[in-house]
Structure 1
Amino acid sequence: MNHSTIANTEVIRLITIPISHYCEKVRWTLDLLKIPYIEERHVPPFHRSATSKNGGSSVPVLVTKSGNFTDSTDILHYLDTISSSGQYLYPTNVEMRQEVEELEELFDAKLGADTRNWGYFYRSGDRKTMRRAWCNSTPVLERIGFEIAFPLISAKVRQVYNITADSAASSLQGIKEIFEIVDRRLAGGKTYLVGDTISAADITFAALAAPVLLPSEHPVSVAKIEELPIEMAAVIKELQSTAAGVYALRLYRDQRRVQSSHPDRRKSSLQKVAET
């Protein structure tokens, strides 16, 4: 649980795959808005047992008394309505709100898919890396399942997302195009993409760009840049040096505060039972 005082407050449940950048988008928002929650982590494809029970097929799924939410953008809209922190992710100004929502949709639809597919091209066959990415603080039986079924799971990932050299090259081009869009929006020394406070657009970009920027503040550490294939590391260094990359890394450094909510402390009762 990420907050110690939850008296008279609903504690919502976030079902995740640890490394999922869409889950990180929601996790970051919950932490930023100081909304109490329990994170329930699962190994793919075993996560489907938990998500299907709550109306979803993939992650993230947010389980609340008001209903279950199965899309990261819908989740952020909901969290914005229940926040009592005084901080909100969608501006009240109609035009600015439209800008935020359009950028969030662009990043979700394009950047999220491209960073995932490009990263999986290099790493989905690496058992050690994928163990770190998928098994962090997950139930012990799922971790055992990962070890037994990893070759099949890895092959399925590559099939489902059509991971090939050509698709990876196309994904990288898509990533660079989004970074160029963000570069242009930040021209003139802007601190945030829309307005003068952090919004859903900023969190979405930074979270979905994290796989190609490797911010040290990310709550699920998979690899250091020196451990990566040379070609992959070169691209990451290039992206880190862009205006968009510097901005996303700054957001992680200045806004992503997870020290009081270490992943190992965010376990549901199901996980605790499974790990005993």
Structure 2
Amino acid sequence: MIKHLRFYQIPWSHYCDKVRWALDLKELPYDIINFNPYGKTKGLERAPKTIRKLMPILEDPNNDGNPFQCDSTPILLYLHTRYPNSSISLFPSSSSDEKQQIIDTCLRFDSELGLYTRRIAYVQILNEKSSALSILLGEKFSWAYNPDDIRSRLVSSFVACFMIARFRLHRIREEQLREKTEQILLDVAERLHTHDYLVGEQFSAADLTFCSLVKPLRRVPCFFDDNRFRIIFDYHERIRRKYDPKYPNIDNFVEKIVDKHRLQIQNSEKSLITHIKTFIYRINFVQRFFIAFMTMMVKNIYGPVTDNEEVPQFNRVSSQGNQEKEAFNDQRRINFKSKWLMNVVVLPIHIMQRLADYFLVVGYDHDEERGGRSCGKIIQRFPDKDWPDCPFNPRIIHFCQPQGWILTAKRELPTFFISILTDLDGLRHYCACLTFHQTLLPTTTNILLNKTNDYSDEADDTAFLLPRTQMYAPKCLVLTSKLDCFEAFR
């Protein structure tokens, strides 16, 4: 008897809809737990600390070894491997090449189309019914599920600021998101003119992924009403009707709010009061100024500044050329060069940022020793050549030992700390240091019996040799990076 799986989701997320669809398709029993971004989510306290709280997350009590899985495509692969017995298989079991094609397609859709449609859909909601964003507080306040509540209307302006800053909604035109999305849809449309499915000749995870991620565009008129994409939405409808067990009840709460709002506008569009309200809303400079000002403040302290700051969640080694393929978490970009499986266009490369720029071994400089004190010197350095985008700073050795390079008479416990350095361009560099002490061989030193002499030489018969006590010298292993991955450094 299969125990109920626990599916942690954000109700309106198209990535979560993708996993929900796969669970229903495999007819697996599961319980839904909505993620609470402003408090504790019951059940996630059992998750390992290393897993990122990135929805969707699947907890499988039938798996004693590793019950938690996160990110949509890895979850689909897990379900395919763990529960292979189902009427419809998302990945072929016979052809490894076709399976790899499907995985590549899913990752590319996750990494680009999913991000684009999410940001475009949020802009559409802000333009039509911004108070619907209060649903983000729904797990904490019950009134947040009613966008017409006065509290929802008041709080929606603050939520809008965080959404704009977090997802960089103010940069959609600058980043040409609409043009990029159109290009992806046109490439898929060209494939659909000659084939019924995206990869191979039967339904697969690639079709499920695309239909889940393109679903938000059904509420965006500039896409849904465009005749160029008619084949896309007809294909979405056909796949949903045939393979989604919950069709047609697939709309989430936010989509229903938008539909209800549009119906209200349509029914009262001839009313004079409606025209006045619309006019007042459009000239509401106070709200617009407030949102613009708060967004400027929030984006400096919240959310990623660039896509490169995200940490990859899915790593998989390809059988072809050992290329590492990965879908990035929140920004979901992939860092390998390959063609669309529809053989239409080559997409640009996005290079994953290095975790560490330099690794150093820094030791005690005995040549500069003066009375048990000295400075550090670089014993080994990897790589030995500078990165073009990050020149090596030799002064970093001064930050390895904040208390100075001092010999000690007893062995100290190893210590770990991180220094933050700022370069001339204002960019931060993180210096992770692991310090331990190395035993020095016992040596001898000159001890003066004549206290009145300031120095002695070889001819001075008042000086003789005494053995020095056992001493320990500090030594450091240093990692430098532009990323603040403190736990990984430790």
Fold match by TM threshold 0.5: yes
Aligned equivalent of 1:79: 79
TM-superposed CA distance for 1:142, in Å, is: 4.1
1:13 is paired with a residue whose SS is strand
Report how many residues are paired.
234
Contact 1:14 1:37 in 2 (8 A): yes
Matching of residues 192-231 of structure 1 within 5 Å: 192-214=197-219
Contact 2:5 2:29 in 1 (8 A): yes
Aligned equivalent of 1:90: 91
Residues 170, 40 of structure 1: alpha-carbon distance in 2 compared, 3 angstrom cutoff = same
Residues 260, 250 of structure 1: alpha-carbon distance in 2 compared, 3 angstrom cutoff = closer
1:242 is paired with a residue whose SS is helix
Distance 2:17 2:228 in 1: 19
Output one character per residue of 1:45-81: Cα deviation in whole Å (capped at 9) or x when no partner.
3377458633332211111122111111110011112
User: Which amino acid in structure 2 is aligned with residue 38 of structure 1?
Assistant: D
Residues 88, 239 of structure 1: alpha-carbon distance in 2 compared, 3 angstrom cutoff = farther
Task: Confirm whether residue 129 of structure 1 aligns to residue 119 of structure 2.
Answer: no
Whose Rg is larger?
2
Runs of 4+ in 1 over 6 A off after TM superposition: 259-264
Q: TM-score, normalised by structure 1?
A: 0.74
Matching of residues 21-100 of structure 1 within 5 Å: 21-42=14-35, 45-46=37-38, 49=41, 53=45, 54=47, 55-65=51-61, 66=63, 67-81=67-81, 82-92=83-93, 93-100=95-102
Contact 1:121 1:168 in 2 (8 A): no
| Structure with the higher helix share, 1 or 2 | 1
Residues 36, 149 of structure 1: alpha-carbon distance in 2 compared, 3 angstrom cutoff = same
2:6 is paired with a residue whose SS is strand
Task: Confirm whether residue 252 of structure 1 aligns to residue 240 of structure 2.
Answer: yes
Aligned equivalent of 1:273: none
Distance 1:16 1:156 in 2: 20
Distance 1:239 1:71 in 2: 33
Aligned equivalent of 1:110: 112
Aligned equivalent of 1:143: 142
Distance 1:111 1:124 in 2: 20
Contact 2:241 2:248 in 1 (8 A): no
Output one character per residue of 1:76-118: Cα deviation in whole Å (capped at 9) or x when no partner.
0111121422321111201211211111011000000000011
2:13 to 11, 14, 20: 20
Q: TM-score, normalised by structure 2?
A: 0.43
Residues 102, 111 of structure 1: alpha-carbon distance in 2 compared, 3 angstrom cutoff = same
Gaps of 5+ in 2: 146-151, 253-490
Contact 2:131 2:156 in 1 (8 A): no
1:182 is paired with a residue whose SS is helix
Contact 1:17 1:47 in 2 (8 A): no
Contact 1:62 1:68 in 2 (8 A): yes
Contact 1:100 1:200 in 2 (8 A): yes
Contact 2:186 2:228 in 1 (8 A): no
Contact 1:22 1:207 in 2 (8 A): yes
Q: Which has the higher contact order (CA 8 A, sep 6+)?
A: 1
Identity %: 24
Contact 1:35 1:83 in 2 (8 A): no
Gaps of 5+ in 1: 1-7, 215-231, 265-276
TM-superposed CA distance for 1:237, in Å, is: 1.6
Residues 182, 47 of structure 1: alpha-carbon distance in 2 compared, 3 angstrom cutoff = farther
2:188 to 159, 176, 182: 182
TM-superposed CA distance for 1:192, in Å, is: 1.2
Quick check: 159-168 or 176-185, which moved more?
A: 159-168
Distance 2:112 2:159 in 1: 24
Quick check: 203-212 or 91-100, which moved more?
A: 91-100
1:164 is paired with a residue whose SS is helix
Aligned equivalent of 2:283: none
1:62 is paired with a residue whose SS is strand
Distance 1:175 1:50 in 2: 36
Residues 151, 109 of structure 1: alpha-carbon distance in 2 compared, 3 angstrom cutoff = same
Distance 1:263 1:114 in 2: 19
Contact 1:25 1:203 in 2 (8 A): yes
Output one character per residue of 1:145-176: Cα deviation in whole Å (capped at 9) or x when no partner.
67475433221111011002644872211211
TM-superposed CA distance for 1:247, in Å, is: 1.1
User: Which amino acid in structure 2 is aligned with residue 22 of structure 1?
Assistant: Y
